[in-house]
Amino acid sequence: GIQVEQSPPDLILQEGANSTLRCNFSDSVNNLQWFHQNPWGQLINLFYIPSGTKQNGRLSATTVATERYSLLYISSSQTTDSGVYFCAVDRGSTLGRLYFGRGTQLTVWP
Amino acid sequence: NAGVMQNPRHLVRRRGQEARLRCSPMKGHSHVYWYRQLPEEGLKFMVYLQKENIIDESGMPKERFSAEFPKEGPSILRIQQVVRGDSAAYFCASSVLSGASYEQYFGPGTRLTVT
């Protein structure tokens, strides 16, 4: 299957700081999604971004499909941003099956 | 528009019992996926279903696990004769085919504990 690697595995920030999370994938993909798993375990859709750049409030994401990576930017972080951020890709030929990275554990301190 | 619904949210079973996990997709979604999250393995795909059809079950363990998505009613993930290693969070996701898009939306998960 396709390999999805996320970095860094852990990130500790103070409130107000900015951060960049990276997702590398080993093959061409049809779809790419970013999720936030909050401390209650729920998976929240952040972006559906197979290519290009999108922004939603303090969050933005960029996928460069030809170079097989995606970046998630979090600006002016807040304690509610804490949790695990997952990148997941769909190779298209696998009919929508998502391959997940191991995630980035983000902790934001007040 | 209600999101993906799963029940129960928490399920405790003794070894050897059966576990039934239910998933109702978002309104208008006809594709359902099940994933399992184990502490040391991350989120892994199990099975992909459409109404009355299993499309891809390559991630399902060969024994004790089955899934269905009947014409009427929720999708069911069934685990027979549970063992401690089945303890995990089980997530259901749904999507609607839109061009080449399969953006998936996840339910809150069912946390299965086997004692």
Copy the structure tokens of residue B23.
């998933």
Predicted confidence (pLDDT) at residue A93 exceeds the cutoff of 90 = no
Residue A95 has what pLDDT?
66
Distance from A6 to chain B by nearest Cα, in Å? 12
pLDDT digits (tens, 9 = 90+) for A97-109: 899 999 999 999 9
Arithmetic mean of pLDDT, A21-35: 94
Predicted confidence (pLDDT) at residue B62 exceeds the cutoff of 80 = yes
- Residue A1: band (very low, low, confident or very high) from pLDDT cuts 50, 70, 90: confident
Arithmetic mean of pLDDT, B50-69: 94
What are the residue ranges of helices labelled H in A41-109? none
Predicted confidence (pLDDT) at residue B1 exceeds the cutoff of 70 = no
- How does the average pLDDT of chain B come out, rounded? 93
Residue B96 one-letter amino acid: V
Distance from B106 to chain A by nearest Cα, in Å? 6
Predicted confidence (pLDDT) at residue B98 exceeds the cutoff of 90 = no
Burial of A2 (0-12, 13-18, 19+ CB in 10 A): middle
- Quote the distance between the C-alpha of residue A89 and its chain's center: 10
Q: What is the spatial distance between Cα A99 and Cα B88, in angstroms, rounded to a whole number?
A: 18
Q: What is the spatial distance between Cα A7 and Cα A14, in angstroms, rounded to a whole number?
A: 19
In this complex, the residue of A30, A97, A99 whose CB is nearest that of residue B100 is: A30
Q: What is the spatial distance between Cα B46 and Cα B16, in angstroms, rounded to a whole number?
A: 21
Instruction: Please tell me if residue A99 touches chain B, with a CB cutoff of 8 Å.
Output: yes
Q: Is the separation of the CB atoms in B33 and B93 below 8 Å? A: yes
Distance from B18 to chain A by nearest Cα, in Å? 24
Residue B99 has what pLDDT?
59
Arithmetic mean of pLDDT, B94-98: 80
Q: Is the separation of the CB atoms in B21 and B11 below 8 Å? A: yes
Residue A96 has what pLDDT?
74
Q: What is the spatial distance between Cα A88 and Cα A90, in angstroms, rounded to a whole number?
A: 7
DSSP E strands, chain B: 5-7, 10-13, 19-24, 31-38, 42-50, 53-56, 65-68, 75-79, 88-95, 105-106, 110-114
In this complex, the residue of B56, B100, B109 whose CB is nearest that of residue A92 is: B100
Copy the structure tokens of residue A41.
């375990």
